[in-house]
Structure 1
Amino acid sequence: MFLLFCQLLSSVFSQESHLYYIPPSPFAQISVGFNESLNTFYFHSGLVRDGSYLLGLQRYYLDKTTNKWRFDEQGGSLCPDPRSSYGSFMYNSHYCIFGGYGTGGIYNDMWEFNTNSNLWSQVNTLTSISPRYSFASTSFVYQNTYYFAVLGGKSGQETIDLMDFHLYNIAIGEWTRKADYSACVDYPLSNAQIQYSNNKIYLFSGSYFANNTSNYYTGLCVYDLIKNSEWVKIPVSQQLNNNTQGGSASYNNFLYNFFGWSFVDNEEMSTSDVFRMNLSDNSFTWEKIYIEGCGDTELQRNSFGFWLQGQVFYILGGVVDDEMQNSLIQITLNNSVNILQCEVIYDNNLVPRRRNGASMVYVTGGFMLFGGMNQNLLFNDLWFLNMTSNDWTLLETLGSTPSPRYKHSAASQGNFIVVFGGITYNNVYLQDLYYYNLPTSTWSIIEPSSNSLQPPGLMGACLLINSPNIFIIGGKEEYRVTLNIWKLDITTLTFTLFYNYESYPYAGIYKHSCSYSIKNNNLMLYTYLGSINAVDTPFCGIYEFNTSQTPLIPHLLTSKTIKMPCRVEPAFADLTDGLVLFAGGQRNQLEIFSDIWIINLNTLEEIQIANLQSPVYASASTYINTTLYLYSGITVDGISSSSPSNNYWQKISLEKSYFDKKITCGPGMYYVDDICEFCLSGQYNQAESHDNCSSCPLGTYFLYEGATDENQCIPCSYGFKSNDPTDECSKCLDNEICYIGTGDNPLSLSKNNELTIFGKTNNQPSDYEPPNFFDKKLILYIVFASCLLIFCFVYALSLKLRIILSYYDIYKNLHFEHHSTEEGHEIPRDIINRPSKLGGFCSAITIIVLIFVAINTIMTYVETKTTEDIYLVPVDSLTKSHNFDNIDLKIIMKMASYRGNCTDSYLTITNSSNIIIDKYTIGYEGQVCVITCNFYPKEIVMNGDNIIFSFNQTFSYTSDVYFELNSDSSIDNVQSTVAQYIKSGENSVFRGADSTVFVYSVIPSYFKKRDSVGIENEYLGYRISKASKPIEGSTAPIENIPILSGLNIQLLLQLSDTGITTFKYPQMELFDFIVLFLNNFPGTVVVIGFLMWLGEYVHKVFTGKTSGRLRLAKKQLKEEIEEKKNKRICRRYSKNTQEYKKLTGTINE
Structure 2
Amino acid sequence: MFYTFGGRSLKGAQNDLWGFNLNTMQWNEISVSGDIPAPRTLPAFTKYKQNGKLKFAIYGGIGLDGDEDSLVILDVANMEWTLMPASGNTPGRLTSASLQYFDGMLYLAGGVDDSIPINFRYNDEFYQYDLTKKYWKKIGNPSHTYTHRSLAGSIVYDENFYLFFGWSDKLGRDVSEISKVNLNDINYEWISVPVLDNSYSVTLLRDSYSFISVNSSLFIFAGYNMTSGNLNDLAQFSVSGFPITYDCLSELYTGPSARSHHVMQVIEGNIYIFGGDAKGSKLNDLWVFDPETEVWEILFPDGDVPTPRSHHSSGAQGNVMYIFGGIDQSGVLLNDLYQFDATSNVWKVIKSSNLNLPSARYSTCAVYSIPILYIFGGMTTAGVSNELWSYNCGLNTFSLISSDAPYRLYYPRCAVDTSATTFFVLNGDAERQESIGVLFSFNFSSKNWKILKQPETPKRNKSDGVAILIGDFVMYIGGHQWGTDPISSVYAIDLSNSFQYIDYPSTPMHFIGSAFAYYKTDLYVHGGVSSTKSFIRISIPVVNFYKISLKQFCTNESCPAPCSPGTYESMNGCKPCEKGTYNHEFGKPVCYDCNPGTYNPNIGSNTVRECFPCKEGKFNNLVGQSKCKKCSLNDYCPSGSSSPQELSDILSYTWQQPINYKEHSKEASDMNKKYVYTCIALFSIFTALTVLLRGFRNKLKVIDFYSKYHNIEHNSILKSTKNRLGGYFTVAFFIGASWFIYGNISTYVIDNIAETKALLPLAAVWYKASSLNGNITLIVTLIRYGGNCTNNGTCIENLKIDSNKIFNPYTSKSCYMDTNNNCIITYLCNNCEVWTEAEINISLQEPLSYCAGILVNLTSTSSIPNEISSEQIGVMTDSNKIFRGLDPTIFYFIMTPSIFQSVFSLWPDKLYGYYVGISANPVKGSQSYAYELPFSSDLNIKIVMDKNEFCLNTTRSAKQTMLILVSALLGAVFGWKGAMKGAMHYLEKCTLFFSKKIHQKIHLLKMASANKHLIHIFNSKIVSKEAHPYSIEESEENDGLRSIELLFESYSSQHQLFQ
More displaced 10-residue stretch of structure 1: 733-742 or 1096-1105 = 1096-1105
Q: 2:485 aligns with which of 591, 601, 610?
A: 591
User: Greater CA radius of gyration, 1 or 2?
Assistant: 2
Distance 1:867 1:142 in 2: 134
The match for 2:414 is 514
AA in 1 matched with 2:425 = T
Q: Which residue of 1 aligns with 2:79?
A: none
1:241-260 aligned at under 5 Å gives the runs none
Offset at residue 426 of structure 1 (A): 0.7
Match of residue 350 from structure 2 = 446
Match of 2:385 in 1: 482
2:280 corresponding residue in structure 1: 376
**Partners in 2 of 1:1071 and 1:272 — Cα distance?**
127
- Does the CA contact (< 8 Å) of 2:568 and 2:590 recur in 1? yes
CA 122–583 in structure 1, closer or farther in 2 if over 3 Å, else same: farther
Q: Measure the CA separation in 2 of the matches of 1:704 and 1:446.
A: 26
Map 1:574-973 to 2 at 5 A: 574-577=469-472, 579-600=473-494, 602-636=497-531, 639-655=536-552, 657-658=554-555, 660=558, 664-673=562-571, 675-722=573-620, 723-743=622-642, 745-746=643-644, 748-749=645-646, 752-754=647-649, 756-757=651-652, 759-766=653-660, 773=666, 833=723, 865-876=752-763, 878-884=765-771, 887-903=774-790, 904-906=794-796, 907-912=799-804, 914=807, 916-927=809-820, 928-936=822-830, 940-973=833-866
How many Å separate the matches in 2 of 1:955 and 1:973? 40
Q: Specify the alignment match of 1:327 in structure 2.
A: 233
Among 460, 467, 472, the alignment partner of 2:370 is: 467
Q: Is the 8 A contact 2:812 2:827 kept in 1?
A: yes
The letter for the 1-side match of 2:348 is: S
Alpha carbons 2:774, 2:862 under 8 Å: kept: no
In the alignment, the residues of structure 2 paired with residue 649 and residue 671 of structure 1 have an alpha-carbon distance, to the nearest angstrom, of 23
Give the distance between the partners of 1:464 and 1:964, measured in 2 at CA. 41
* Residue in structure 2 matched with residue 527 of structure 1 by the alignment: 425
Distance 2:935 2:788 in 1: 20
User: What number of residue pairs does the alignment pair up?
Assistant: 893
Write the mapping of 1:152-301 to structure 2, written as runs, cut at 5 A: 170=113, 173=115, 175=117, 196=124, 291-292=195-196, 296=199, 299=202
TM-superposed CA distance for 1:653, in Å, is 3.3
CA distance change for structure 1 residues 332 and 531 in 2, over 3 Å: closer, same or farther? same
Q: Deviations over 1:814-849 (max 9, x none)?
A: 9xxx9999xx999x999995689xx97x99999988
Q: Does 1:567 align with 2:456?
A: no
CA distance in 1 between partners of 2:392 and 2:165 (Å): 63
Cα distance change on mapping 1:955 and 1:249 into 2, 3 Å = same
CA RMSD of aligned residues (A): 5.9
Tell me the percent identity. Answer: 20
In 2: Cα distance, 1:618 partner to 1:388 partner: 26
Matched with 1:1024 is: 916
Is contact 1:996–1:1034 with CA below 8 Å preserved after alignment? yes
Task: Tell me whether 1:1008 sits opposite 2:901 in the alignment.
Answer: yes
1:555 aligns with 2:461: no
Separation of aligned partners in 1, 2:616 and 2:738: 70
Q: Is the 8 A contact 1:415 1:439 kept in 2?
A: yes
AA in 2 matched with 1:514 = C
Q: 2: distance between equivalents of 1:692 and 1:1023?
A: 55
Check whether the contact 1:331–1:342 (CA below 8 A) recurs between aligned residues: yes
Q: 1:573 to 1:305 in 2, by over 3 A?
A: same
Residue identity in the other structure for 1:1046: D
Deviation of 1:432 after TM superposition, in Å, equals: 1.6
TM-score, scaled relative to structure 1: 0.65
Q: In the aligned structure 2, how far is the partner of 1:724 from the partner of 1:549?
A: 38
Could you tell me how far 1:306 is from its partner in structure 2?
A: 7.8
**Equivalence for 2:85:** none
The one-letter amino acid paired with 1:511 is: Y
**2:437 aligned residue:** 540
Deviation by residue 1:39-94 (Cα, 9 ceiling, x = unmatched): 99x9999xxxxxxxxx9999xx9998679xx9xxxxxxxxxxxxxxxxxxxx9954
Q: Check conservation: 2:701, 2:724, Cα contact below 8 A.
A: no
Which fold has the larger relative contact order, with Cα–Cα distance below 8 Å and residues 6 or more apart in sequence? 1
Task: Report Cα offsets for 1:734-776 as digits up to 9, x if no partner.
Answer: 4433232222x44x32xx535544x42242453x799885x99
How far apart are 1:371 and its partner, in Å?
A: 1.8
Q: Residues 509, 122 of structure 1: CA spacing in aligned structure 2 closer, same or farther, 3 A cutoff?
A: farther
Aligned partners of 1:760, 1:272: CA distance in 2, in Å?
Answer: 82
Q: CA deviation at 1:1039?
A: 1.0
- The answer to which of 911-920 and 342-351 deviates more is 911-920
Moved more, 721-730 or 911-920: 911-920
Q: Partners of 2:402 and 2:549 in 1: how far apart?
A: 36
SS at match of 2:632: coil
CA distance in 2, matches of 1:666, 1:253: 54
Distance (whole Å) between structure 2 residues aligned to residue 509 and residue 1014 of structure 1: 77
Measured in 2, the distance between the counterparts of 1:565 and 1:803 equals 137
Q: 1:569 to 1:433 in 2, by over 3 A?
A: same
CA distance 1:686–1:63, shift in 2 (3 Å):
farther
CA contact (8 A) 1:366 1:387 kept: yes
Q: Distance in 1 between matches of 2:684 and 2:781?
A: 66
Which whole-Å deviations, capped at 9, do the CAs of 1:193-229 have from their partners, x for residues lacking one?
Answer: 9994799xxxxxxxxxxxxxxxxxxxxxxxxxx9x9x
Asked whether the equivalents of residues 529 and 536 of structure 2 are also in contact (C-alpha less than 8 Å), the reply is yes
Is 2:711–2:719's contact at 8 Å kept on the other side of the alignment?
A: no
Distance in structure 2 (CA, Å) of the matches to 1:958 and 1:587 = 52
Deviation at 1:116, TM superposition (A): 11
What's the offset of the Cα at 1:970?
1.5
- State the AA in 1 paired with 2:398: F
Structure 2 unaligned spans of 5+: 27-37, 45-57, 69-87, 97-109, 128-139, 182-190, 995-1023, 1034-1042, 1045-1059
Q: Which amino acid is the alignment partner of residue 391 of structure 2?
A: L
- C-alpha spacing 1:345/1:1057, structure 2 compared with 1 (3 Å): same
Secondary structure class of the residue paired with 1:292: coil
In the TM superposition, what is the alpha-carbon distance from 1:523 to its structure 2 partner?
2.7
Q: Secondary structure at the match of 2:931?
A: helix
Q: Does the 8 A contact of 2:179 with 2:192 survive in 1? A: yes
Counterparts in 2 of 1:257 and 1:592: CA distance versus 1, 3 Å: closer
TM-score by length of 2: 0.70
CA distance in 2 between partners of 1:43 and 1:791 (Å):
138
Letter in 1 for 2:251: D
Equivalent position of 1:419 in the other structure: 323
1:483 Cα offset (Å): 0.9
Q: Secondary structure at the match of 1:899?
A: coil
| TM-superposed deviation, 1:880 | 4.7
User: Is the CA contact 1:914–1:945 (under 8 Å) kept in the aligned structure 2?
Assistant: no
